[in-house]
Copies of this chain bind each other. A is one copy, B any other.
Amino acid sequence: MGILGCGNVGSELVKLLTRDAELIFSQTGERFVITAVAVKSLDRQRPSWVETSFLSADADAVVSSPDVDVVVELMGGISPARELIEKALVNGKSVVTANKALLAVAGAELAQLARSVGRDIFFEAAVAGGIPLIRSLRVSLAGERVRRVAGIVNGTTNFILSAMSESGLSYEQALALATEAGYAEADPSADVEGDDARAKAAILATVAFGRLVRFEDVYREGITRITPSDIDFAKRHGYAIKLLALCEVSDAPDFGSDRIAVRVHPALVPADHPLALVRDSFNAVFVTGEAVGELMFYGRGAGGLPTASAVLGDVIDAAHNLRYGVTERQLDREVAAIVPMNELSSRFYIAVDVIDQPGVLAAVAKVFGENLVSIRSMEQIGMDNEARLVFITHTAPESSVKMTLDGIRELASVRRVAGFIRVFDPS
C-alpha cells in the first residue's frame, strides 16, 4: 500500500501498521506492506518509527506503482489530492481518504470513477474522526428510513463552547485556550466559521439520505458571535449552546416530498439531550430513523491516533474487497432537492439591546406581532442605561423571523440585535 502525506494522521497510521502488524494479521488475515509514503519534503524530521526508506517525494509514482494496491490519501486540500486519487483509481488502486473538503465538492465524481473502474473509495475518517459512523450509515442502516442526522462534528468549536460554558470564558479567551491546547489552528476560521462542519454535513447528508448534497448546498453560521451572555441565558433556561450540523429529510407537505435541509449553525440544545452533554473536543452524531429510532455515536472526532484508527478500518475493508474482487455497494445518487433556509421553521432565541425607556418593549413586541412571530417567553435584563430584551419564540418560519429582525433594527430605541440563535427541537 501507499500513503500520501505523513503528518499527524499519516505517521500514526504508519505506527499502527508496523507496530500492530501481527495483531492485524491475527484479527483480519491481512498483512499490509507499506511500499511508499509520499511527502512534500524529504528533509523534514519524522517520528522514529517512520522508516526513511518508505519516503518518496514523488506522489505520482506512488499512485502508479504496481506494488501498491491501496492508496491512502492524507494530504488534505483539493489539488493535487483530487488528481492523485483519480490517477490511483484509474490505475486500479482502491482509495482511502480522510479529505472532507475534497469529498464535499467532488465526492460524487470520485465515487462514480471508483465504480466505473471496480474499486472502492472509503472515507470513514472524513467525518467524526475515529467514530464508526459512515460505515454504520452505509451498511448497517442501508435499509433504514433515516429522517435526521444531528451532529457535533467539529471538536474545536465544541471545546470553545464547552470552555465558555464551564469556565465562563469569553469567545476570545476560549479560542486562545483552544489554540494553546492544540485544538485550534493558527488560522481557526475553517473551524469557527463552520466550514469544516459544513463539508462534513454535506458528506453525512449524502450518505444518510442517498442523495447528492454538496458543500455549497449547506447553509452555515459559525460560533464567533456567541457571547457569554447568550450562554448564561441558555444555561438558566435549561439549554446548552452547541454548533450543530443538521441534516433532515421530510415527507411533510410543507417540506416538499423528499427534499433535504442541511445546515450548520449554533443551536440551543435542551440540557438533558445527549448532544448537550458532549463536552470538550468530543464529537457526537445523533441519528433518527423510522425503524431504529434514536441512535447516537460518540467519540474522538479528530487527533492523529483516532483518525488513523478509522483509516486503518477502511484499509482492512478495502484489502478484503480487493482480495475477493468485490466492491462496496455504490449506487448512483440523484442530486438532492435542497430546502432553502428561508422555508425552514424553528424556535429562536433573540436578544435585543434597547434604550431603557418606557414603551420600548411594546414597540419591539409589536414588530414580532406584525410578522406573526409568536413569543413563547421573554426576559428583560437591566444593563446601565440600556436594557436587554431576550425572547424565545414559538416555532416560526426563518423568513418571518428575518423580517422581524429587520423591523426591530429600524426602531430608534433599539441599539442592536445582540443575539440570534436557533433552538434545536429534538422531537
Residues of A near any B CB (own CB < 8 A): 12, 16, 20, 23-24, 26-29, 124, 130-132, 135-136, 139-145, 210, 274, 277, 289-300, 303, 305-306, 308-310, 312-313, 315-317, 320, 324-326, 329, 331
Contacts and interface: CB of A to CB of B under 8 A. Distances in A.
Contacts of A309: 141, 143-144, 289, 291-292
Contacts of A308: 291
Contacts of A27: 142-143, 210, 331
A334 to B, nearest CB: 9
Given A27-B331, A144-B312, A277-B277, A293 B130 contact: yes
A242 B324 CA distance: 44
9 contacts: A12-B291, A28-B142, A130-B295, A132-B141, A135-B139, A142-B316, A292-B300, A296-B299, A320-B329
Contacts of A317: 139, 142
Which 8 A-B pairs rank lowest in CB-CB distance, beginning with the nearest?
A132-B140, A291-B309, A292-B309, A296-B298, A295-B299, A132-B136, A130-B292, A140-B313
A143 B293 contact: no
A291 B306 contact: yes
Given A27-B142, A313-B140, A295 B131 contact: yes
A89 B270 CA distance: 49
Count of identical protomers in the assembly? 2
A395 B199 CA distance: 46
A293 B306 contact: yes
Contacts of A313: 139-144
Contacts of A290: 305
A154 to B, nearest CB: 17
B305 A292 contact: yes
Contacts of A12: 291
A292 B297 CA distance: 13
A84 B422 CA distance: 54
Contacts of A297: 295-298
Given A135-B135, A143-B312, A293-B305, 4 more contacts: A27-B142, A27-B210, A295-B299, A324-B326
Nearest to A135: B140
Contact of A20 (B24, B135, B141, B145): B145
A20 B143 contact: yes
Contacts of A24: 142-143
Contacts of A131: 295
Contacts of A324: 324-326
A395 to B, nearest CB: 26
Given A274-B298, A309-B289, A124 B140 contact: yes
Contacts of A135: 135-136, 139-140
Identify the interface centre among A292, A313, A320, A331: most chain B CB within 10 Å of its CB: A292
B293 A329 contact: no
A145 B23 contact: yes
Contacts of A305: 290-293
B291 A299 contact: no
B299 A292 contact: yes
A315 B140 CA distance: 10
A20 B306 CA distance: 36
Given A145-B20, A210-B26, A299 B293 contact: yes
B291 A312 contact: yes
A136 B310 CA distance: 11
A315 B298 CA distance: 26
A299 B77 CA distance: 35
